Amino acid sequence: MPISQRFLGVCNGCKALCCTLLSPPITEKEKHDILKAGFEDHFTKIIDGVYAIKSRDNGNCPYLKEDYSCEIHRVKPTLCKVWPVIPRYQNNKRGIIVIKCPLFPLISKKEFQQTKKEAEKIPLPIVQHLWNISPVMKQKYKRFEYEKF
């Protein structure tokens, strides 16, 4: 299983900065799963089959709770599940980067390999949208160091 609830204390410590970075692109199925589970609709369509979770006015994910836990944890999108392992798309090639957030040192090799495999399965339109984010979001993203794989 990718990164789990056992890291909640770490997320509390950084105030879930990852949940303030951008509106993650998600698949139509992920949107459907979230709505089917009874959560509010906070989505905007980007292109056919790809949606974004609309941020609150303060930039936070609308599903981020006051204690910095995820309200939709059991059905959260793959892009959120695989954090801090992020798929990338550059020069027509897919790859992986690992964000050096406070979770990074706590991830075992086995969890890393499994999470990397999950990140590699994220559909290309989602990955492309992630890397075509606005300059404002790219500035937020630069708060983290990362390593390319």
Q: Does residue 2 fall inside a structural domain? A: no
CA of 138: how far to CAs of 24, 30, 43, 72, 130, in Å? Answer: 13, 24, 21, 25, 10
Domain extent for 126: 7-148
Q: What is the pLDDT of residue 4?
A: 53
Q: Domain tally for the chain?
A: 1
Q: Does residue 113 fall inside a structural domain? A: yes
State pTM to two decimals: 0.83
User: For the chain, how many helices (H) and strands (E)?
Assistant: 6, 6
CA separation for the pair 54, 128 (Å, rounded): 18
Question: Could you give the percent of the chain with pLDDT greater than 70?
Answer: 85
Whether pLDDT at 138 is above 70: no
Whether pLDDT at 3 is above 50: no
Each residue of 51-76: pLDDT tens digit? 999 989 888 999 999 888 889 989 99
Q: Does residue 84 fall inside a structural domain? A: yes
Q: Does residue 21 fall inside a structural domain? A: yes
Sign of CA dihedral 25, 14, 1, 120: positive
Q: Which helix (H) or strand (E) holds 85?
A: strand 85-90
Q: Does residue 119 fall inside a structural domain? A: yes
SS (H, E, C) 93-111: EEEEEEECCCCHHHCCHHH
Q: Does residue 143 fall inside a structural domain? A: yes
Q: Does residue 38 fall inside a structural domain? A: yes
Which distant-in-sequence residues (6+ apart) come within 8 Å of 52 by Cβ? Answer: 23, 24, 25, 26, 43, 44, 46, 129
Give the confidence band of 44 by pLDDT, cuts at 50, 70, 90: very high
Q: Does residue 1 fall inside a structural domain? A: no
Cβ atoms within 10 Å, residue 137: 16
